Structures are given as C-alpha cells and as structure tokens.
Amino acid sequence: MHYLLLYEYVPDYLQRRGEFRNQHLQAAWESQARGELVLGGAFANPADGAAILFRCESRRVPERFAVTDPYVLGGLVTRWQIREWTTVVGEQASAPVRPGAHQPA
C-alpha cells in the first residue's frame, strides 16, 4: 500500500529550515532504510510544501513520521495530511493494472 504524506510550510520555510534540516533528513533516511519511505522532497517554485511517499501496511507509519518530524515539531509545517494512494502504473505499483486487463465494474 502507498501513502502520501503532504506538508504545507510556513512562508519563511527556506530561511528557518537550517536549524531542523539534519534531524529531519536523519529521520527520513532511517525510515527509508527500514523500507518505509520511498521518496520525499519539498515542492519547488514556490517551496511551500512537500510530499513524502511511503510504502507500508498502515497509515500509522507516515503518521508516526509526521508527529515526530523536527519540521513539524519546530513549527515549519502549518498543516499535514496523509492520503492513501492506489498506484496502478509502474514497477512499484501497489495494485498494477495492465492495458486490456479485466476491470471489475
């Protein structure tokens, strides 16, 4: 199962992130090493949020990441949400669907 953790950042995120960045990246790489976090990064132009993709069995994994993330705890994130994402195309799709495959109604 895939989950997207979506962040919205404070307007001065780029100026304030330095204090928390190493701890945030450490937590992200540890999650990746456990096989949970697949990809993550900030949006560009403007840098007003981020998306972090998790592959895991439960939304508890991205939720645990968010509530302990130094960016969240440090006030850089104004809002976060978790969305279950049904991925159907790609090598890592959680529910691959090929052209011509029978689709339930």
Q: Where along the chain do its domains lie?
A: 2-85
Each residue's pLDDT, cut to its tens digit, for the chain (105 residues) gives: 999 999 999 999 999 999 999 999 999 999 999 999 999 999 999 999 999 999 999 999 999 999 999 999 999 999 999 999 999 999 999 999 999 866 665
pLDDT value for 72: 98
pLDDT value for 103: 65
pLDDT value for 100: 84
> Which residues are within 8 A (CB) of 77 and not within 5 positions of it... i.e. 6 or more apart?
7, 8, 9, 10, 66, 69, 71
* CATH classification number, 2-85, choose in 3.90.1570.30, 3.30.565.10, 3.40.190.10, 3.30.70.1060: 3.30.70.1060
Look up tokens 């990246």; give the residue: 25
What is the reported pTM? 0.90
Strand partners, 5: 52, 82
Looking at residue 31, the DSSP 8-state letter turns out to be H
The span from the CA of 21 to the CA of 64, in Å, is: 18
